[in-house]
Each structure stands twice: as structure tokens, then as C-alpha cells.
Amino acid sequence: MLSTAEALATLLSAASPITGTESIPTLDALNRVLSADVTSPLDVPPMNTSSMDGYAIRTEDLATDGNRRLPVSQRIPAGHAPEPLKPGTAARIFTGATVPPGADAIVMQEQTEAAGNEVTILHNPAPGEWITAQGADIRNGSTILPAGTRLTPQALGLAASVGCAELQVRRRVKVAVFFTGDELTMPGEPLKPGAIYNSNRFTLRGLLEKLGCEVTDYGIVPDKLDATRATLREAAQAHDLILTCGGVSVGEEDHVKPAVEAEGRLSMWQIAMKPGKPLAFGAVRRAAQQTDAAASAETFFIGLPGNPVSSFATFLLFVRPFVLLLAGMQTVAPRALSLRADFTQKKADRRNEFLRARINAAGGLDLFPNQSSAVLTSTVWGDGLIDNPPSHAISAGENVRFIPFSELLN
């Protein structure tokens, strides 16, 4: 069996960013991936601004004769252009307002006493005090968001702060998904003897949509070879990836493996991980009438195991980084934490275990009591996965590698 690291490296080595790009309004670009650098056309802030409510002064006026009482020569709200500051005077100024030419410090209003049209300065400011200099945040011509950045709300705000009304992004990754198993039933339908509700359809579609994919759901495909092959052929025509769940083992009713082999190529991996073991990777041929000569002749294929926690875990660990690479992201590895285990697990498994756990009030980790691959409640209860190496028993008090769901679902 391959280690998780070997399987992931093999999978990711096959992925490269999709080529399609588009220009979209910045307001609509949340979670999209930049296809070009965003370079600032201006300084931010574009002028010296006050970072306090107070008074703009020339420090030399205080140093010359020690005079602390200055006439107020102008009032400067944010958004108004000031006049040059007259020597020997102060300007009433508000947070975010432009510092008048000639002023070199702001005295906060708490360090002054105002009376009529005059103000007494109770503090000796240093030059530059409470002034945010032009370009202190962003310099004209600097790259503020490199290509490959996935656009968060704060990234959209940053792009807007330099006046970007539109952004160049890669098109969405197009994923076709379908599920196999005659035992699968959709919620709302009668549950026949031997049948189960199809939870994986909801989980995997949600995971793909959270990654920003354009998803085509072919639903539940009958456990028949010809039906599986027909769905694969149709899905290959207009998608970057086909994702299936179930049917990738070698039983008589597992038709995905022979169907993919008939319509393309397939690698079957036995991965030394728990939960999750069978993972299929390959590609399905596209029909010869593909109109775009530059388009790939194949559509990637990934087949996940059918147990709900196994499909969930293998998606997060393998499909997620693969999709992010297709989307054009450069950094796809989730960040892990080193946290204290507040439990003991004496029995070590020969496989790499991914244990559902959550952070307790003391900052340590509690383990969900049932780590079966069929117990989907553990994925809702938990905050993330403990990445436990093969053949390693966990003792209470030791630090373990913990990957939060906040990283794996991002």
C-alpha cells in the first residue's frame, strides 16, 4: 500500500492550472483565484492623513518661543482639501483627514484645551506624530495580490482600496459528480429494506461548492456497466474532473473500475490510511469532436470510497488540494497545529490514522469515542483531524499533529 504522502505526491504531480480566464467585477470575485497580479496604481493612503481627532501643528512653532496657545486657522474634516497651514496657527483636524501642507504633527484633542477660536497645546509632539504618511500601507506600482491568490473578503477590500473595479480570475473548475449503488435512496423517498440514504451526495457537493467549483450532479447511477460508461462519456465532454463515490473496489457490483478502464485509464491505489483505503485516479477520454483544439483530450477522474467518513476524509486530503491546483492556487497544503492530546489511545494501527477530535476548553484535544468510517456524526462533532503516524500509540499529554477543519474546508 502507498503511504498518504506518496499517494498525494503522485496525484498532485498530475495537476496543472486550467487555462481559461475571465474579467469579473470585484464585488463578485469572492473565492475566485487570481490569474494575474494585482498592482497598485497609487499610494495608499494617497496623501498624509491624520490618525487622530485633534490639531495639526508645526512643531517649530512650539519650539521657537514656547508659546502653547495657537489660533485655529482652519477646520479639516475627512474628504476635504486643506489649505497650507499658516505659521503660528493650528488646524482642527479629524481622523482620516488630509494633513495640511506645512504641518508636521498631530496633537490628539485629549492633550489640548480649546477656548473660542484658540487652542492650548499641552503636549510636545515629535515630528510625524499621529500622521499616517502617504504610501504607508501601499506604494504605487507594488504588487498587492499575486496571481494564484484565492480572494477572501479582506483581499477584495484590498483590491478595492487601490481602485480595482474588476479582477482577472481563472474560470471555475468544472466538476462532474455521480454516485453508484442500488442501495442508495434520496431523502424524502421511502427507505426500502436494505437501502440507505445517500449522505455522500450532500457532503461531496457541499465540499465542491465550498471550493468554488462549478458542479454538475448526475445523481445516482444504476449499478450497471453500460450506465456507468455512458455517464462517464457524457461527463468527460465539458468538465475538468469527474468525481465518483463508491464502486471503486473489485467486487462484482463495483462497475466504476471497469467502466473507467474501458473509457480511459485508471490507477487503483490502496492507501495505508484509516479511514479510507481505496482511491482511484485516472482520466476519461473526450470525444473526437472536441471543438477547442487547445483543450485536453482527457478529463481527470477520481473515485472515492463509499463509506461516509472515508469519502469525507479522502476528499479533504486528496481531492481538495488537487482541485485547488487546477484552480490555479500555488499553496494548497493545509496548516497543521501541534496540540496536546487529552486522551490515551493504546492500540496503534499499522496505517496512518486520521482521528476525529475537537479542541476542549483547556486547549487540548478530546477524541470522538467511535472512530468507525461509518460514523458521520464524528465529522460534525469534531474540529479537525489528528494526523497520527502508522504504528503510533497516543499517550495523554503528548503533542500530536492536528489539522483543523477550518484549514481543510477552506
For residue 358, give the CATH number of its domain: 2.40.340.10
Which is nearest to 96 in space by CA: 46, 139, 141, 160?
A: 46
The confidence score (pLDDT) of residue 67 equals 67
In a domain, 332, yes or no: no
Out of 181-190, 308-317, 366-375, 401-410, least confident range: 181-190
Q: Identify residue 298 by its one-letter amino acid code.
A: E
Model confidence band, residue 242 (pLDDT cutoffs 50, 70, 90): very high
Same domain, 320 and 183: yes
What would the mean pLDDT of 239-251 be, rounded to a whole number?
A: 81
Q: Which residue has the higher pLDDT, 199 or 39?
A: 39
For the stretch 66-123, pLDDT in tens is: 668 999 999 999 999 999 999 999 999 999 999 999 999 999 999 999 999 999 999 9
Same domain, 142 and 36: yes
Task: Quote the pTM value.
Answer: 0.87
Same domain, 106 and 203: no
What would the mean pLDDT of 234-261 be, rounded to a whole number?
A: 83
What would the mean pLDDT of 186-210 be, rounded to a whole number?
A: 90
- Asked if pLDDT for residue 64 goes beyond 80, the answer is no
For the stretch 337-381, pLDDT in tens is: 999 999 999 999 999 999 999 999 999 999 999 999 999 999 999
Same domain, 277 and 363: no
Model confidence band, residue 250 (pLDDT cutoffs 50, 70, 90): low
Give dist(CA 98, CA 133) in Å, integer.
10
In a domain, 111, yes or no: yes
Same domain, 181 and 263: yes
The confidence score (pLDDT) of residue 249 equals 59
Same domain, 197 and 311: yes
Model confidence band, residue 196 (pLDDT cutoffs 50, 70, 90): confident
Same domain, 149 and 250: no
Same domain, 241 and 316: yes
Domain span including residue 100 = 49-132
Model confidence band, residue 293 (pLDDT cutoffs 50, 70, 90): very low
Same domain, 235 and 321: yes
Give dist(CA 153, CA 76) in Å, integer.
32
Same domain, 189 and 228: yes
Q: What is the largest CA-CA distance in the chain?
A: 98
What would the mean pLDDT of 260-288 be, rounded to a whole number?
A: 92
Same domain, 321 and 346: no
As a whole-number percent, the residues of the chain with pLDDT over 90 amount to 83
Mark 148-183 as b/e (b = at least 16 C-beta within 10 Å).
bbbbeeebbebbeebebeebbbbbbbbbbbbbbbeb
Question: What is the count of structural domains for the chain?
Answer: 4
Same domain, 39 and 166: yes
Where a domain ends, among 326, 357, 372?
326
CATH number of the domain where residue 204 is located: 3.40.980.10
Question: Mean pLDDT across the chain, nearest whole number?
Answer: 93
Mark 364-374 as b/e (b = at least 16 C-beta within 10 Å).
bbbbbeebebe
Radius of gyration of the chain (CA): 30
